[in-house]
A and B are shown apart, each in its own frame.
Chain A
Amino acid sequence: MSTSIKHRGLNRRELLRGVAGSALALGLTGVAGRAFAQDQQLVFWSQFAGSKRAAGEALEAAFKAAHPERNLVSTLYAEPPQLNEKILTSINGNTAPDLFVQHWDYNLTYAAGDRMLDLGEALDVDMTALDPSLLAYGHINGAQYSVPMYGTSRGIGFNRALVTQAGLDPDAPPTTWAELREWAVALTRRAESGLLEVAGFSMFHNDLEAWETFTIFLQGAGGSLLSDDLSTPTFAGPEGVKALTFLYDLLYADKVTDLGFGLGPGGLASPFNTGRAAMIIAGNYSTNNALRAGIEFDVAPIPMEGGGFTSIVDPFCYAVPRDARNTEGAVAFIEFALSPEQQVAFAVESKNVPVLKSAQQDPAVQADPYLSKFVHTASFAPAKAPAIPAFSRLVTIIARAVQEAMFNRTSVENALTSAAAEVQTILDRG
């Protein structure tokens, strides 16, 4: 008991602190509160984090220097889902920002709820100067509710060292599916026991990548996810079957990879970066870590079945809430960010594809060996986008169908047909 008395002071102190704290919390809350947004502020919620952080900070600093009267106040959020939580809560609490930049599919959801300003009307920007395939992702219900800042684009990423070792010419990458298949087979290395050492073509490690890989080959076969008016799924047609069958054969007939090979968090186990995969579907975001890992990284456009190329672009877009306090400031910021100087500066610093067409061809952008290649692959992206508010559901459904076929749970045809039926229900529901 004597020891307990000796130490009693500790508990008491902590207890007192807690009680005092709670009394303050319950009693003096009025003093603790702080006014949220002053009239003259321009509140911007940014998603320029990670490798985009320096570029985003430079953009904001330039805007502040050019428009000190706008009183820009920005907050940074790490991932689109986190910013989404913020926006959904703040829209309800009337504490929404004047401007935010977000992954395009979330913006369509907000726009479908009629919460966003039509930027096509509000902005004094020549929309024809912007890349149409990126712009398409912000277009819904006949209005331009969100406007891209930049996009990512996809190409075939390959490891030049492994390609050379396999006796292939890294300067003559595949231009048809047949050549892609030859490369994948030649690049695959297995031990005598059959254990995979190097995957010739590593297909996907998660739902998003499963959707993406399928969509790229669907386009490669001449198909598309949705009809032109976005009202019907078209991915289960002959092109879709051809695409998924091609992937299925790569896996089972050619054994160029194993399902789930290189699974792991944050790309840390990525077989490409550890030199255990020779080809992947790469984005411009793949560049940094591939180079850090010491991979002889190179990029080629993704071939279509019988020649020609295809790609996917994935934009991050500005949007302004309909009842924002400072729409004028928000519009001024977007216009500033779409200016040629800022577009080039942001693209070069963050290694992303700028939305402004003239910036894509700017010497500074073209001087970057990797960025220039991804700008090139972006040019193969279709001008139509699956710009529907239910996009994230579409991804989940298709990814599941792709994996069901790949895991031999059902046939390619059945997997796609039942997925299309599910997507149709969702599209009909609106």
Chain B
Amino acid sequence: MSTATSDAQSVAPVSAASRLAALRPVAEAVVGYGLLLFAAFATMAPFLWMVSTSFKTDPEVFRFPPSFVPQGLVWQNYLDVINAPDTGRQLINSLIFALGSTASNLAFCSLAGYALARMQFRGKTLVFALVVGLLMVPAQSQIVPVFLIVQKIPFAGGNDWLGNGGTGLLNTYWGMILPTAATPFGIFLMRQFFTRIPIEYEESARLDGARPFTIFWRILLPLARPAMAVLGVLSFQSAWNEFIWPLILTNSRDMATLQIGLQLLQSGPDARWNVVMAMATLITMPIIVVFLFAQRYVIDGAVTSGVKG
């Protein structure tokens, strides 16, 4: 694979004199593109199958070997998904959950990551070790404890100050967002990226007497835009695909998300897989939009604002 990289790297302006030297980059470009295209197809095949199946008729779904080009375009599968009575409500819930979770991750993880990367305070090593340690806590064992904690948040949902008597944050967006509102992944990511930014940027500001939050807000955060974009994509995606917390922490149809809707559709051994794939394809679209939007900031928001490559 290392050849693929060096070939791809050579896709660069040519300024050579001899004919041989002029031809070599062209050949390298051809090979480079060829390898990229091959990798792209290999990478894309399952996605293509998902989209293609969403347009298939019932018999075609079970064809072996699987076909990547549907015989016709059966839009009915999509209409079945879109016209289902709960889909609209599920979309709204998913958006609120995913955007809420993304926003709080961007805010809290960048603040915490900055503090861990750049500020001096007592217990810093301990806090960082704690964050990395919590990263390693298996999520599946947390289901019952988190449920009970969310239910026992004091003063919420009819609870008294000890957290008894009511339902706490169950059945609320706050409750759903809480377990994903700040993740060790996010804090760790931001901390790693903040440590990479040259110290000179903030030192001059500090000499000018800027307050820590001003330094963070006006200088460091704009410089960390690639990392923020990555954090945004990953947070949105994980919340958008999250299934367990919306399931466990809500009890009503009104709070169901698209992932729960998808599960209902693919339930049992006789699911209609073309309709399931239509819904799966639709669910993927918002993440692709978020990715396309964010990848610009991943690339074009650098410390060195110069042209790359």
- Give A contacts to B, CB under 8 Å: 1-5, 7-8, 11-12, 14-15, 17-19, 21-22, 24-25, 29-30, 32-36, 43, 49-53, 73-79, 82, 85-86, 88-90, 92-93, 95, 97, 266-270, 273-276, 283, 285-289, 292-294
Contact = CB atoms under 8 A, between A and B. Distances in A.
B153 A293 contact: no
Contacts of A274: 62-64
Interface in B214-250: 217-218, 221-223, 225, 228, 232, 244, 247-248
A90 B147 CA distance: 9
B103 A21 contact: yes
B167 A18 contact: no
Q: Name the residue among A12, A21, A85, A293 with the largest chain B CB count within 10 angstroms.
A: A21
A88 to B, nearest CB: 7
Nearest to B243: A82
B263 A25 contact: no
A73 B144 CA distance: 24
Contacts of A270: 62
A43 B108 CA distance: 38
B222 to A, nearest CB: 4
Q: Name the residue among B102, B103, B159 with the largest chain A CB count within 10 angstroms.
A: B103
Contacts of A293: 58-59, 61-62
Contacts of A14: 102-103, 106-107, 232
Contacts of B181: 22, 25
B264 interface: yes
Interface of B (DSSP majority class) = helix
Contacts of A287: 270
Contacts of B63: 274
Size category of the binding interface on chain B? 35 or more
Given A30-B155, A32-B169, A3 B305 contact: yes
Contact of A25 (B177, B248, B264): B177
B122 to A, nearest CB: 25
Interface of B: 58-59, 61-64, 100, 102-108, 110, 143-144, 147-148, 151, 153, 155-159, 166-174, 177-178, 181, 217-218, 221-223, 225, 228, 232, 244, 247-248, 251-253, 260, 263-273, 297, 300-301, 305
A270 B273 CA distance: 13
A22 B164 CA distance: 23
Contacts of A34: 157, 167, 171-172
9 contacts: A2-B305, A18-B105, A22-B107, A33-B156, A33-B168, A33-B171, A34-B167, A286-B270, A294-B59
B172 A89 contact: no
Given A29-B156, A29-B174, A51-B270, A89 B58 contact: no
B141 to A, nearest CB: 13
A4 B159 contact: no
Contacts of B105: 18
Contact of A18 (B104, B222, B244, B251): B104
A24 B104 CA distance: 12
A53 B300 CA distance: 49
Given A17-B103, A53-B264, A95 B251 contact: yes
A78 B264 contact: yes
A33 B166 contact: yes
B301 A3 contact: yes
Contact of B174 (A32, A74, A267): A32
Contact of B222 (A7, A22, A43): A7
Contact of A15 (B106, B172, B251, B273): B106
A273 B269 contact: no
Nearest to A95: B167
A1 B174 CA distance: 37
B263 A82 contact: yes
A286 B269 contact: yes
B155 A29 contact: yes
Contact of A85 (B64, B225, B247): B247
Nearest to A88: B144
9 closest A-B pairs by CB? A33-B157, A18-B107, A50-B268, A29-B156, A50-B267, A293-B62, A18-B103, A292-B58, A274-B64
Given A5-B222, A85-B247, A273-B62, A50 B108 contact: no
A1 B305 contact: yes
A223 B296 CA distance: 67
Contacts of B273: 266, 268
A78 B167 contact: no
A90 B166 contact: no
A5 B222 CA distance: 7
Contact of B270 (A29, A50, A92, A93): A50
Contact of A32 (B107, B172, B251, B300): B172
Contacts of B159: 30, 33
Contacts of B102: 14
Q: Name the residue among B58, B153, B177, B251 with the largest chain A CB count within 10 angstroms.
A: B251
Contacts of A269: 64
A283 B251 contact: no
Contact of B158 (A5, A11, A35, A283): A35
Contact of B62 (A21, A82, A292): A292
Nearest to B105: A18
Contacts of B270: 50-51, 267, 285-289
A51 to B, nearest CB: 5
Given A2-B305, A79-B267, A285-B269, 9 more contacts: A14-B107, A18-B104, A22-B104, A32-B169, A32-B172, A32-B174, A75-B251, A78-B266, A79-B268
Nearest to A267: B269
Contacts of A93: 147-148, 151, 167, 170
Contacts of A292: 58-59, 61-62, 272
A266 B266 contact: yes
A161 to B, nearest CB: 14
A169 B10 CA distance: 67
A46 B173 CA distance: 23
A29 B169 contact: yes
A101 B155 CA distance: 33
A292 B74 CA distance: 15
B9 to A, nearest CB: 25
Contact of B271 (A11, A17, A266): A266
Contacts of B297: 7
Nearest to A12: B217
